[in-house]
Structure 1
Amino acid sequence: MKLVVVSAGLSVPSSTRLLGDRLAAAVGRRAPAEVQVVELRDLAVEIAHNFTSGFPGRNLSAALDAVTGADGLIVVTPVFSASYSGLFKSFFDVLDKDALAGKPVLIAATGGTARHSLVLEHAMRPLFAYLRAVVVPTGVYAASEDWGAEGLDDRIERAAGELAALMTGLSASRPVSRPVKDDFTVVPFADQLAALSPPEAGRLR
């Protein structure tokens, strides 16, 4: 399986990239996957040119192909003005509108304060619902104070488990069901009708 991490972090090192890496590692512990990271920072110029020319550059084209061909996605953005970054949105604007249909996606974001945690539900989840992706129930938001604190690891593990389950086509909690043996005989409708009809000799004329 192929897992692609789309990171919109701008700094080096980046807490956004770090969160993406931790999520990918947690998924990898549950399902074997080849991980590829797409750093949008390196594609900013090509994304801008794509809007004016209508054609992606070589690196952007490779990134779009990777996302389209992935079995699952982890998308991570820093929060700007209480929403996802413009670079993050621009990348998905140039992606083909059907590329994410039915694809499992884990949404995550980083910010300076916990007050922006609702960006996951108010901005990111509607975006990927519009793109017809299958967004896992648990989103992961990491504020500055969350690093090294209790709670972040639990959210990472829970979200990773949900994504791994979708990628492998298995339910995270439902036991494997056994096939049910058929113990009845199917009688064709014509035969049932004939059995209900009175014998020819006994009919009134």
Structure 2
Amino acid sequence: MKIVGISGSLAGYKTFTLVNKVLQAAKAVDSTVEIELIDLKGYDVEFVKGTPLSFYNDDTVKVVNKILSADCLLIGTPIYQASITGALKNLLDHLPVDGLMDKTVGMIAHGETDKHFLVLEYHLRSILTFLKAVVPVSNLFVRNDYFDEENEIHDINLNHRIKKLAAETITIQKLMKLKGE
């Protein structure tokens, strides 16, 4: 099983840190899983123009193909203006309508207030289900003030929530594979 994490931010390191922690927890849950982290800061993903994928630059094609070939995804985003980042939305717009069919996709975010967790439930979840993803009940939201200057997180319940999302994502994907056999 391959799990691809996506850090959907073009600035800072909080999103990267959170997605990486969940990927590492997934590896701890099942050492046989293969993990990869895509940090959008490292790629030049072109704006969607409505043309076939082959008309875009190598970075765009590479990132989209990594997503399409993954069994599971962990998608992370900061919350800006009560929404996911434009870079993440643009990336998701590159996917075909059934591009996430039979893939378990965990949601990860951080933001300024507790109410920003609603973006996961009412915005990102709707995009993912439109793309036919299976979204776990659990998600991971962390307030920005839980991070210190070194991007370390101070929340006594965070490790439990990270492990829960990792385990639930892997369990759902394994069950879906059994169902399909």
TM-score range, shorter chain: 0.7 to 0.9
Partner of 1:137: 137
2:57 maps to 1:51: no
RMSD value over aligned CA atoms? 1.7
SS of the residue aligned with 1:135? coil
Structure 2 unpaired stretches of 5+: 147-152, 177-181
2:118 maps to 1:118: yes
Q: Offset at 1:62?
A: 1.1
Partner of 1:190: none
Q: Deviations over 1:88-107 (max 9, x none)?
A: 11100011221101211101
TM-score (norm 2): 0.85
Deviates most, 112-121 or 86-95: 112-121
Higher relative contact order (CA 8 A, sep 6+): 2
Aligned partners of 1:47 and 1:94 also within 8 Å: no
Q: Deviations over 1:17-64 (max 9, x none)?
A: 000000001111112211111222333x4322x427652211211111
CA radius of gyration, larger in: 1
Partner of 2:165: 159
Aligned partners of 2:10 and 2:87 also within 8 Å: no
Q: Deviations over 1:75-132 (max 9, x none)?
A: 0011111111111111000112211012111011111232311111111111111111
Between the two proteins, the alignment pairs up a number of residues equal to 167
Aligned partners of 2:111 and 2:143 also within 8 Å: yes
Match of 1:148 among 133, 151, 154: 154
Aligned partners of 2:97 and 2:130 also within 8 Å: no
2:78 maps to 1:78: yes
TM-score (norm 1): 0.76
In the alignment, residue 144 of structure 1 is paired with which amino acid?
A: N
Equivalent-residue separation in structure 2 for 1:101 and 1:145 (angstroms): 35
Identity among equivalent pairs (%): 26
Equivalent-residue separation in structure 2 for 1:80 and 1:21 (angstroms): 21
Partner of 2:29: 30
SS of the residue aligned with 1:105? strand
